[in-house]
Amino acid sequence: MTARAASRRPIFRAASLLTTPLRFDDFVELVNPLWSRRQLWGRVQAVRPETADAATLTIRTGRDWPGHRAGQYVGTAVRVAGVWRRRTYSVSSAPGRSDGCFEITVKAVEGGVVSPRLVFGAAQGTIVRLDPPADEFTLPDPVPPRLLFLTAGSGITPVMAMLRDLARRGQVRDVVLVHAARSRADVIFGTELRALAERFPGLRLHESYSHADEGAAAGGAARARLADLLAACPDWPCRATWACGPPGLLDEAQALWRDAGVADRLRIERFRGVLVASGAGAGGGVRFTRSGRQCAADGATPLLHAGERAGVLMPSGCRMGICRGCVARLGAGRVRDLRTGVEHGEAGDLIQTCVSAAAGDVDLDL
């Protein structure tokens, strides 16, 4: 927080006393949400298409924005049909911008609620709710001398922030980027990546297109063959590696690095968690006691998703059971951990809604 921002806090506290029962922030958010002290907000400054189904949003932040590290993600909520819907997106811009903005790059998911709204429907001036940046999928300081980035599809987004940061600091020395996509036109940041490779001799870019392989199964980059990708970087066991992409590719990478005895050199970022088979569990009614909403959920649906569909603004982070940004207090009932199938829970327990499903009727303090 800046000294200027800190100096305003006593003024805001005094104004809040004068506006009771409404807080001063209630009025501030009506005038300009970015001035709020209780909630981080952002305003979309620009939307830049990257591919036919992906776009980069430039977001201006408020005074209390803490800044991010390259590779981190940001919880972002946008109003869709009158309801705030929250998702997590990797920051794709380098840190340290002087204009008070950062960028997220979003790929529209077929049938999705939020991503198509951001890619195709967000206009300049759109207001979004923000969470502080999080995650440890970042480069250490000092940066390892030999780097490998292994990405596929939209998995390039956190790595792009790292590459931009390395380029800004003049530290692109011995970097290999192996990226898989359906086609050349589907490579997010394709033009910029190729320009970086020409600008920095220390960056070797290898692109793999599954669409060009007539024998490739449907799904494109999600089924990229790891052995084919790593043929472009035969010294991969000697490099510090950051990998982000579809679950199958990352699972295979984890096994390969483990078998080679270099598991400590691999860092992975997953956009989706690994859950057990979806058939088990009876489900039940879910009541959100603070908001007064309720819904029915089967035994395979995360409570996070059930709440969002019911119009509840659910806290969340990585959405795969790692960061604990989605925890909520259990008022009554039991839940089932979708990663293990184990039922658990007593009144008062904090549960992770992104990896928990109803095991009978459930009350949540939301």
Would you place residue 276 in the very low, low, confident or very high pLDDT band (cuts 50, 70, 90)? low
Q: State how far the Cα of 41 lies from the Cα of 148, in Å rounded to an integer.
A: 35
Residue 283 has pLDDT above 50, yes or no: yes
Residue 264 has pLDDT above 60, yes or no: yes
Q: State how far the Cα of 6 lies from the Cα of 52, in Å rounded to an integer.
A: 43
Q: What is the DSSP letter of 94?
A: P
Average pLDDT (338-344) is: 86
Would you place residue 212 in the very low, low, confident or very high pLDDT band (cuts 50, 70, 90)? low
Q: State how far the Cα of 240 lies from the Cα of 189, in Å rounded to an integer.
A: 23
Give pLDDT, residue 280: 57
Residue 355 has pLDDT above 70, yes or no: yes
Q: State how far the Cα of 211 lies from the Cα of 221, in Å rounded to an integer.
A: 9
Q: State how far the Cα of 225 lies from the Cα of 256, in Å rounded to an integer.
A: 12
Fold of 3-130: Elongation Factor Tu (Ef-tu); domain 3 (2.40.30)
At 273, list the tokens. Answer: 């968690």
Give pLDDT, residue 81: 82
pLDDT tens-digit series, residues 119-157: 999 999 999 989 889 888 999 999 999 999 999 999 999
Give pLDDT, residue 32: 56
Average pLDDT (28-41) is: 64
Residue 96 has pLDDT above 50, yes or no: yes
Residue 68 has pLDDT above 80, yes or no: yes
| Class for the domain spanning 147-270 | alpha beta
Pick the CATH number of 284-364 from 2.40.420.20, 3.10.20.30, 3.40.718.10, 3.65.10.10: 3.10.20.30
As annotated, the residues of the chain forming the CATH 3.40.50.80 domain(s) are: 147-270
As annotated, the residues of the chain forming the CATH 3.10.20.30 domain(s) are: 284-364
As annotated, the residues of the chain forming the CATH 2.40.30.10 domain(s) are: 3-130
Q: What rounded mean pLDDT belongs to the chain?
A: 85
Give pLDDT, residue 215: 40
Give pLDDT, residue 269: 92
Residue by residue, DSSP assigns 299-333 as: TTS-HHHHHHHTT-----SSSSSSS-TTEEEEEES
151 half-sphere exposure, CB direction, 13 A CA radius: 28
Which range of 143-147, 347-351, 353-357 scores highest in mean pLDDT? It is 143-147
| Beta strand ranges found along the chain (DSSP E) | 40-51, 54-61, 73-80, 83-90, 101-107, 127-130, 147-152, 175-181, 203-209, 240-245, 266-270, 284-288, 293-297, 327-332, 335-337, 343-344, 350-352, 356-358, 362-364
At 293, list the tokens. Answer: 């909403």
Q: Give percent of the chain with pLDDT exceeding 90.
A: 59
